[in-house]
Amino acid sequence: MIFVHGWNGSASNWNELVADFKADGYTDGELTAWNYNTSQSNKTTADQLSAVVDDVLARTGATEVDIVTHSMGGLNSRWYLKFVGGADKVDDWVSLAGPNHGTTSANSCFDASCVEMRPGSEFLTTLNDGDESPGAVSYGTWWSTCDETIDPDDSTVVSGARNTQTGCITHLGFLSDDGVSQDVRTFVA
């Protein structure tokens, strides 16, 4: 399982969810919380994620991985699935509070990845053109009307995914909410 954080985040964002997976019997070798440069293009990050997936598959001997994402991590991982061959290597994909169709909060930041998160960006138009959930991957999203970062709130929803509206959870709250944690662990089991 690979955990992909969001913009200006880090692998440590996943500490609570990783601890929940370990409590369910997963080992350190099965759980990879990955750090990447969040200011670069999501396309560049997708290429880097491809190498991480290949490394995890080689190290574990598995034929597929699960990817759990928060916020912008959903965008670079979806690009990987759709355009970098990832759909053949991923079993389950999770987006927690992902700006899958853009967020107006990205209008106030200007690095490459932020511009790509703006509603109507070339990146998002390409990503969402045609099949939003390609391959045999199980896609799942979780979103909240109390998310102060994703605007519009339902931007997280992906056509062809199991889309779950949660109770009132803040953007960063998705990383520590017990109900979401249990739901995600059930989804990828």
Please tell me the predicted confidence (pLDDT) of residue 124: 98
Which residues of the chain are under the pLDDT cut of 50?
A: none
Contact 56, 65 (CB under 8 A): yes
Among 106, 119, 127, which residue's Cα sits nearest to residue 45? 127
Count CA atoms within 13 Å of residue 26 on its CB side.
19
In angstroms, the CA 97 to CA 172 distance is: 9
Report DSSP state, residue 8.
T
Tally of CB atoms within 10 A around 160: 11
Q: Mapping DSSP to helix (H, G, I), strand (E, B) and coil, where does residue 91 land?
A: strand
Please tell me the predicted confidence (pLDDT) of residue 41: 98
Tally of CB atoms within 10 A around 106: 24
In angstroms, the CA 107 to CA 124 distance is: 14
Contact 6, 113 (CB under 8 A): no
Two structure tokens written together for 116? 């790509």
Q: List, in sequence order, every residue forming a beta bridge with 165; answer none if it has no partner.
A: 143
Q: How far is CA 70 from the centre of its chain?
A: 5
Two structure tokens written together for 32? 């990879």
pTM score: 0.98
